[in-house]
A and B are shown apart, each in its own frame.
Chain A
Amino acid sequence: MSIAFPKPDEAVLARRAEIVAGLQRLVAPEALIVTEDERRAFETDGLTAYRQMPLAVVLPSSTQEVSAIMRFCHQNGVKVVPRGAGTSLCGGAIPQADAIVLGVSKMNRVLDVNFANRTAHVEAGITNLGISQAVSYEGFFYAPDPSSQLACTIAGNIAMNSGGAHCLKYGVTTNNLLGVTLVLLDGTVVQLGGDHLDSGGYDLLGLICGSEGQLGIVTEAVVRILRAAEGARPALFGFERVEDAGACVAAIIGAGIIPVALEYMDKPAIQICEAFAHAGYPLDVEAMLIVEVEGSDQEIDDMLRRIVAIAEPFRPKTLKVSQSEAESTAIWKGRKSAFGATGRVADYICMDGTIPTGQLPYVLKRIDEIVKSYGLGVANVFHAGDGNLHPLVMFNTNVPGEMEKAEKAGEDILRLCVEVGGCLTGEHGVGIEKRDLMTCQFNEADLAQQMRVRGVFDPGWLLNPAKVFPLDGRLAA
């Protein structure tokens, strides 16, 4: 438990009854959660090792209610922790004792879909998959697909600028977001963007995306929807050496091919996933690639033929081009179950650094050394096209000290990502998890500039204030 929370404001804690009474006047009784038992459901998120009981939880149903709650909290100096579905892996939605949680999960309607303009206007509490489901009857989908897409909200996706397995072709949230309705700290409601492209002034929409709930509450969003490809099919390659898999990725891209997905798994990940999903993965290789391409049948055949030819010189030990829907599903089932399958064999923390892909063999070797030096194991899954690594550092919660060792190993891995020219987080966000590592990637001036921008929206550090920026060295209002 090495991550600290700021000391709660005693004066605010003492005013809890008064604050709850104030909130009661603003929302319906069922929208306000005050009992300890019910609040407990909100004390953590996907980073379950850390938890904090909030003062209260409020689940508004409209932008007007969010505005009223924000105005009240601003006037009363109450901190606000925004929450979507609470799936953050970096603790982005973990509360604080002197804060209320403002959850947008009840605001989950589709407001408008325009297929001619290829936009969907939704309330921010809708799930990521909910958007795709709402437009699938016309063959459309919403592209960014984080693996929590069944549960996570578009509000959370915007806060974290979430990615997914298909960003090499379709981009991440910020590339697929056209507009938001944003409630500022003092309750003011602003519209940023709309259903058109690009901004007429400063790109505030781009700033909001990935700001981790520190600048305002997003209550509605206009997102770009796309017509799905006619079909998609993966091929699976197994390699005896990590270097060969890395070089094969470089060669595919070098040949002018941008597969819609390009996933890498190392030996421990292959074994764990195969034992769980029986996907037909090769157990005798050091590295595996799943390469997926899209298009009509003949386009897919042509593209996979090219990719197989490119892979040839790297002597894949296994080569399986999916021939059917069932085979495609099996190939993906293994990869998509990586987190769940690992959870069956060990406790783990999932890291999320990005590296320049050319550094892959070196970084994987170093990760192995780092994790071994703490006496732990690691399984690596990796979005190979864009360099986003997900090392799963495995430990046993019941062995005292192991979780701390896993956290330390994770930190060392992230430092390594920065050292080789990458970054601390590719798609999960900083949250509390990587907050204290920010100084590895940014110097004082870089961070101060970010904090001054943050201060334009929230000078008194009331909005999700325990996150992103190291607690020491913060700029005062």
Chain B
Amino acid sequence: MTLLTPRDEQDASSIILDAAAKGTLLSLSGNGTKAAMGRPNQTDASISSAALSGVTLYEPAELVISARSGTPVSEVVRTLAEKGQELPFEPMDYRPLLGSRGEPTIGAVAAMNISGPRRIMAGAARDSLIGVRFVNGRGEAIKSGGRVMKNVTGLDLVKLMSGSWGTLGFLTEVTFKVLPKPERMSTLLMRGLDDRAAIEALSQALGSPFDITGAAHLPSPDRQGARTLIRLEGFRLSVDYRLNELRRLLPGFEAADILEGRGADALWQSVRDAAVLSGNGERAIWRVSTAPTRGPDLAAHVARAIDAQWFYDWGGGLVWISTSVNGDAGASAIRSATLAFGGHATLVRAPAEIRAQVDVFEPQADPVMALTRGIKASFDPAGILNPGRMYAGL
């Protein structure tokens, strides 16, 4: 298959204009580290942002960074770290889960709205994404948003681009709001809680005035190995004070351990990347967003129907579930759970033949699907950009 790597926005524009005229179906990618996600689709050529690289603007005092879409996430992270700053939403790295190699790009972080544990406090990638430039399916270069964090000028197409998985446009440049890196990170670790008790404690912590930046629960088959994590970040004095307050506030947490340093970093990284479940590459992985207190109900509902393992992030509101790849890889059990308890589920990892058979993204109500199709057509009337990657026929 032809791989097209435009060198600039104009180049991307002419490639897509030409493809639209000929009806050439295009796969959109960065460096392909997440090629095994979404619905498998049949396309004629591939357009990659790999040659669109580099930070184009960084103003630490204005908390803003812009980069071409193919810039490696690692380069953005390094550039920010030099000035003591970071991406607030702690983007997940999908490589451990998918077993892929190469450099994930910042464009994919925007296009797939990729966030991590800090999402509960600092918002998702879509909340920090303040500006985009992209080429739509008509070959037109379009901008939305900009480089200032307060901007309500016109329709917010930035939000549509974020989470549309390249089905609406080929991103060429993205601009994010950034935040200072905290001076200190500290984690309270409590052992032995069952799911419900853990989520209750996390809810209580998140309902405290202490700005919790991570709240996860990692169950274990024997419960004794279960771990409940509450993360605080900030200036040293503040973190110390808040740790003490939380230990007093949460029943049973007086004796909770405090984790810091490399061990704690690695633990949160494994939560962020769902590495807790990725061990067995044979199993399918689902990512389910729901209301935090319903997380345990949802997991129990799934576990009654199928063989499943799971853990919680976002205070219980993000349930990562691993299932057997047999049959529908748990799709019907999980979809019936989101129907019963609210929320949405995405099949993050599964063999291509399963991703072709079951809904990878949460099915939408008919009128919402009609709007979705209308929006797709308004950006990409010929349907050439990542056709079928999210929904069949879209």
> Across the interface, do B113 and A253 meet the contact criterion of CB distance under 8 Å?
no
> Across the interface, do B314 and A425 meet the contact criterion of CB distance under 8 Å?
no
Per a CB cutoff under 8 Å, which of A204, A295, A303 touches B368? A204
A-B contact count (CB 8 A): 260
> Across the interface, do A196 and B180 meet the contact criterion of CB distance under 8 Å?
no
Chain B residues within 8 Å of A452, by CB? 378-379
> Across the interface, do A197 and B119 meet the contact criterion of CB distance under 8 Å?
yes
> Across the interface, do B159 and A356 meet the contact criterion of CB distance under 8 Å?
no
Chain B residues within 8 Å of A115, by CB? 207
Instruction: Kindly state whether residue A31 has any CB partner on chain B within 8 Å.
Output: no
Q: 1/0 contact trace for A352-371 toward B, CB 8 Å? A: 00111110000000000000
Q: Which of B186-194, B233-241, B252-260 contacts A (4 or more CB under 8 A)?
A: B233-241
> Across the interface, do B209 and A450 meet the contact criterion of CB distance under 8 Å?
no
Instruction: Kindly state whether residue A230 has any CB partner on chain B within 8 Å.
Output: yes
> Across the interface, do B379 and A449 meet the contact criterion of CB distance under 8 Å?
yes
Contact A383:B150 (CB < 8 A) given known A116-B293, A200-B345, A254-B60: yes
> Across the interface, do B291 and A196 meet the contact criterion of CB distance under 8 Å?
yes
Give the residue among A119, A139, A438, A453 with the most B Cβ atoms within 10 A.
A453
> Across the interface, do B163 and A199 meet the contact criterion of CB distance under 8 Å?
yes
Per a CB cutoff under 8 Å, which of B154, B346, B378 touches A430? B154
Instruction: Kindly state whether residue A372 has any CB partner on chain B within 8 Å.
Output: no
Chain B residues within 8 Å of A456, by CB? 371, 374-375, 377-378
> Across the interface, do A196 and B344 meet the contact criterion of CB distance under 8 Å?
yes
> Across the interface, do A188 and B367 meet the contact criterion of CB distance under 8 Å?
yes
Chain A residues within 8 Å of B64, by CB? 356
Contact A442:B154 (CB < 8 A) given known A198-B113, A203-B160: yes
Q: 1/0 contact trace for A186-230 toward B, CB 8 Å? A: 001011101111111111111101110000000000000001111
Q: 1/0 contact trace for A378-420 toward B, CB 8 Å? A: 0000010011100000000000000000000000000000000
- Shortest beta-carbon distance from A252 to chain B in Å: 9
> Across the interface, do B62 and A358 meet the contact criterion of CB distance under 8 Å?
yes
Chain A residues within 8 Å of B206, by CB? 118
Instruction: Kindly state whether residue B292 has any CB partner on chain A within 8 Å.
Output: yes
Instruction: Kindly state whether residue A151 has any CB partner on chain B within 8 Å.
Output: no
Q: Which of A101-109, A167-175, A280-288, A313-321 contacts B (4 or more CB under 8 A)?
A: A167-175
> Across the interface, do B209 and A425 meet the contact criterion of CB distance under 8 Å?
no
> Across the interface, do B390 and A201 meet the contact criterion of CB distance under 8 Å?
yes
Q: Which of B19-27, B30-38, B123-131 contacts A (4 or more CB under 8 A)?
A: B123-131
> Across the interface, do A207 and B156 meet the contact criterion of CB distance under 8 Å?
yes
> Across the interface, do A191 and B365 meet the contact criterion of CB distance under 8 Å?
yes
Chain B residues within 8 Å of A194, by CB? 291, 342-343
> Across the interface, do A200 and B361 meet the contact criterion of CB distance under 8 Å?
yes
> Across the interface, do A298 and B317 meet the contact criterion of CB distance under 8 Å?
no
Nearest to A205 among chain B residues (CB) is B159
Contact A119:B291 (CB < 8 A) given known A357-B61, A446-B144: yes
Instruction: Kindly state whether residue A29 has any CB partner on chain B within 8 Å.
Output: no
List B203-218 residues whose CB lies under 8 Å from chain A: 203-204, 206-209
A170 to B362, CA, bound (A): 29
Nearest to B127 among chain A residues (CB) is A175
Interface size class of B (residues with CB under 8 A): 35 or more
A162 to B102, CA, bound (A): 41
Chain A residues within 8 Å of B290, by CB? 196
> Across the interface, do B162 and A203 meet the contact criterion of CB distance under 8 Å?
yes
> Across the interface, do A438 and B150 meet the contact criterion of CB distance under 8 Å?
no
Contact A175:B123 (CB < 8 A) given known A115-B207, A302-B235, A450-B157: yes
Contact A118:B180 (CB < 8 A) given known A200-B344, A427-B152, A450-B157: no
Q: Which of B4-12, B45-53, B134-142, B268-276 contacts A (4 or more CB under 8 A)?
A: B134-142
Nearest to A437 among chain B residues (CB) is B153
Chain B residues within 8 Å of A434, by CB? 153
List A18-38 residues whose CB lies under 8 Å from chain B: none
> Across the interface, do B156 and A210 meet the contact criterion of CB distance under 8 Å?
yes
Per a CB cutoff under 8 Å, which of A202, A296, A421, A426 touches B375? A202
Nearest to A442 among chain B residues (CB) is B154
Chain B residues within 8 Å of A163, by CB? 150, 152
List B230-251 residues whose CB lies under 8 Å from chain A: 235, 237-238, 241
A200 to B348, CA, bound (A): 12
A125 to B292, CA, bound (A): 27
- Shortest beta-carbon distance from B227 to chain A in Å: 21
Nearest to B148 among chain A residues (CB) is A354
List B326-340 residues whose CB lies under 8 Å from chain A: none
Contact A302:B153 (CB < 8 A) given known A201-B390, A203-B163: no
- Shortest beta-carbon distance from A313 to chain B in Å: 15
A446 to B59, CA, bound (A): 25
- Shortest beta-carbon distance from B21 to chain A in Å: 17
A19 to B208, CA, bound (A): 52
Chain A residues within 8 Å of B140, by CB? 445, 448-449
| A/B interface sample: 18 pairs, CB < 8 A | A115-B207, A116-B200, A117-B317, A119-B291, A139-B209, A196-B290, A197-B317, A203-B126, A206-B126, A206-B160, A210-B155, A251-B61, A357-B62, A425-B151, A425-B152, A449-B142, A452-B379, A457-B374
Residues of chain A touching chain B, judged by Cβ–Cβ distance below 8 Å, are 114-119, 139-140, 160-161, 163, 167, 171-172, 174-175, 184, 188, 190-192, 194-207, 209-211, 227-230, 249-251, 253-258, 295-296, 298-299, 302-303, 354-358, 383, 386-388, 421-430, 434, 438, 441-442, 445-450, 452-457, 468
9 residue pairs, one from A and one from B, having the closest CB atoms: A206-B159, A200-B344, A200-B362, A256-B180, A456-B374, A250-B61, A426-B150, A452-B378, A354-B148
